[in-house]
Structure 1
């Protein structure tokens, strides 16, 4: 009996979590809810490094709320208007997402972008959300492909990353040429530099574990960070439906043509969580 309890505890709450639990922080949660009563479940958005909750509130959240989806976006600790946290790791961000989930009115769909998708993968190993969506995800199996792509396309920035120096974000990192320069610069001024710990942690190989929720993966063949092969491999690891776009940058929810991946995601959600 004791062994069975220990095994259950290990699956639900990892040894490191119950031995050294992350300290909670005040989290910024941006809300966009429909004006009318709806039967659609809430959607919780989790941003990637350098972004914050605002990135989803530019386009995706208002559009979905108009169509009856209650939308929430959390700024992970150290991002946006959430509490600061030196040395935060993926484990701390995972805690932040679960802290945000607890505040929602019902079990949500969880959408993660880039490194935020990596956090959501970890959450879905233990929490049965209504569904999970990975947008331009950092690969479930490790970021060697990202490092190789960065070294090829942006060798100077890659060298800075290796030396744990803060990166200066540029339009070509996140957006396509279709997005006008003024809008791109407005977004870039809001981006934040990730910590060296986060940059290194994303590169570590890790065996993907089964998700407790159905998963949909969205990517771009022209993503400056995540190679298409890695996005395809992530989808295969989760036995997930995959939709790849062409001509879009890494920050698909902000780039020109943001409506197309949003339509694909909403169509999948309607078939998966509403039927």
Structure 2
């Protein structure tokens, strides 16, 4: 049974553009707040019903005392709890670990569409971590210390440059960094191969894999691989870093996602409605 979850909702101010609600799934070390800064309201303004939530032990959700023991399957259960309140198949948008949680969710459940933002690939973190360790050993070491001691001031400079582009206001970026928290050791082990994804392209909804071309954490090669593995469309963005929903050019990522949803969800829903009315 899931602990009580922190959940946020936004509704369109005008007539809804899309019949399907959008559920945002955050990544490791964060909470629902990462969506609430920009994406939750922006997508509501585009005509989507939007929901963000904090996984157990994160943000304002319960279960903090047992966070280090939470598994990826526990996080999938949290997503199931939120989706069950909707009464229909959602659009799922997940960032980094959140993308991995969505993939695990799709092993047993259906969705209208899924967007994986700088997502952990189906095989887990081994390939991306290896590339990071070889190309950016200083960043690899600081990611280790982030998990060991949390968002310490000594880690802000290098980790900050990996998470956010240099042109974001330093004070704002540091506020975001200070809100990071340690992740579940068990969930991280699950993503290192302990709980791999088993999906067949024939059973999947329309999917988009979107990444940052120069992301040092989930590299563009990994995003391309995820797209090929899952039969997803693929978009790589320039001038944006790993935390795409918080970066200075977050709206660039949001617009790409909204345009993809327009083509792959809204237009299909409109076409179906017209055929039903005929």
Is the shorter-chain TM-score for this pair beyond 0.5, marking a shared fold? yes
Decide whether aligned partners of structure 1 residues 153 and 29 sit closer, same or farther in structure 2, where only a CA change above 3 A counts: same
Structure 2 alignment gaps of length 5 or more: 268-278
Inter-partner Cα distance in structure 2 for 1:219 and 1:208: 22
**Structure with greater proportional helix content:** 2
1:173 matched residue in structure 2: 162
Inter-partner Cα distance in structure 1 for 2:250 and 2:210: 12
1:14 matched residue in structure 2: none
1:142 matched residue in structure 2: 124
1:18 matched residue in structure 2: none
Q: Which moved more, 1:233-242 or 1:137-146?
A: 137-146
2:223 matched residue in structure 1: 231
Inter-partner Cα distance in structure 2 for 1:139 and 1:68: 30
- Equivalent positions of 1:88-237 (< 5 A) are 88-151=70-133, 152-155=135-138, 157-158=140-141, 161=144, 165-168=148-151, 170=156, 171-204=160-193, 206=196, 208-210=198-200, 211-237=203-229
Decide whether aligned partners of structure 1 residues 176 and 130 sit closer, same or farther in structure 2, where only a CA change above 3 A counts: same
Report how many aligned residue pairs link the two structures: 253
For each residue in 1:187-228, what CA deviation from the matched residue of structure 2 results, as whole angstroms up to 9, or x when unmatched?
111111113222322221735412532111100121121121
Contact 1:30 1:54 survives alignment (8 Å): no
2:51 matched residue in structure 1: 72
For each residue in 1:45-69, what CA deviation from the matched residue of structure 2 results, as whole angstroms up to 9, or x when unmatched?
0000111111111111111111211
Return the match for 2:260 from 241, 246, 268.
268
Contact 1:175 1:255 survives alignment (8 Å): yes
* CA-CA distance at 1:39 after TM superposition: 4.9
Inter-partner Cα distance in structure 1 for 2:215 and 2:143: 20
* Superposition TM-score, scaled by structure 1 size: 0.85
Decide whether aligned partners of structure 1 residues 134 and 55 sit closer, same or farther in structure 2, where only a CA change above 3 A counts: same
SS in 2 for 1:148: helix
SS in 2 for 1:209: coil
Structure 1 alignment gaps of length 5 or more: 1-22
Inter-partner Cα distance in structure 2 for 1:110 and 1:77: 18
1:49 aligns with 2:28: yes
Inter-partner Cα distance in structure 1 for 2:51 and 2:239: 28
